């Protein structure tokens, strides 16, 4: 019996989606550190873990997301997409993450939650990535919303062989 295909990936940015820029801090800063961390919503972690996908950090927090963000959201240590190793600039209008995310995903479907996704990213992924992808631009003033979670969950469930339809 053949193995089921691997689960889709979910590439997750921090600044904007998880740390909204327009929200006041949810809790006062009680320790030295980044005052924006008070904007994290601890309820987001369990919601992300409940999605039928494999979570991956796609953020300039790099591995620091595992040390600083993950514990505050109740997330395990996650893999981290590294920055491109070459110095070749991305084509105009293409986010620097677009090609590395597609390469990381290989032939797997993926969701990308980020506040900097633009039209060129969508066009490039549609033309170059061999599997379905949902590029969901998150409003950085609001962070992840109920609508974002609903769209993500519906898209993932439609592509997840292990979940009931």
Give the tens place of pLDDT for each residue, 119-144. Answer: 999 999 999 999 999 999 999 999 99
What pLDDT score does 30 carry? 56
Task: Catalogue all structural domains in the chain, each as residue range(s) with its CATH number.
Answer: 9-159 (3.40.50)
pLDDT at 165: 42
Side-chain-side CA neighbours of 63 within 13 Å: the count stands at 0
For 53, other C-beta atoms within 10 Å of its C-beta total: 25
Please report which helix (H) or strand (E) contains residue 46, including its range: helix 44-50
Distance in angstroms (rounded) separating the CA atoms of residues 122 and 128: 10
Model pTM score: 0.91
Over the chain, what is the mean pLDDT? 92
Q: How far apart are CA 162 and CA 18, in angstroms?
A: 27
Q: What strands lie across the sheet with 9-12, from one edge to the other? A: 54-57, 9-12, 110-114, 133-137
């Amino acid at each position: 019996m053949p193995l089921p295909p691997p689960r889709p990936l979910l590439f997750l940015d921090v600044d904007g989606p998880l740390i909204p820029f327009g929200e006041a801090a949810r809790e006062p800063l009680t320790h030295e550190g980044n005052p924006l961390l008070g904007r994290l919503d601890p309820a987001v972690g369990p919601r992300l873990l409940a999605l039928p996908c494999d979570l991956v950090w796609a953020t300039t927090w790099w591995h620091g997301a595992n040390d600083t963000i993950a514990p505050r959201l109740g997330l395990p240590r996650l893999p981290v997409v590294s920055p491109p190793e070459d110095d070749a600039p991305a084509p105009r209008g293409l986010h620097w993450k677009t090609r590395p995310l597609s390469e990381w995903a290989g032939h797997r479907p993926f969701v990308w939650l980020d506040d900097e996704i633009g039209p060129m990213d969508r066009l490039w992924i549609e033309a170059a990535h061999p599997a379905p992808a949902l590029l969901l631009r998150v409003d950085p003033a609001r962070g992840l919303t109920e609508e974002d979670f609903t769209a993500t969950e519906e898209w993932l469930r439609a592509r997840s062989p292990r979940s009931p339809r």
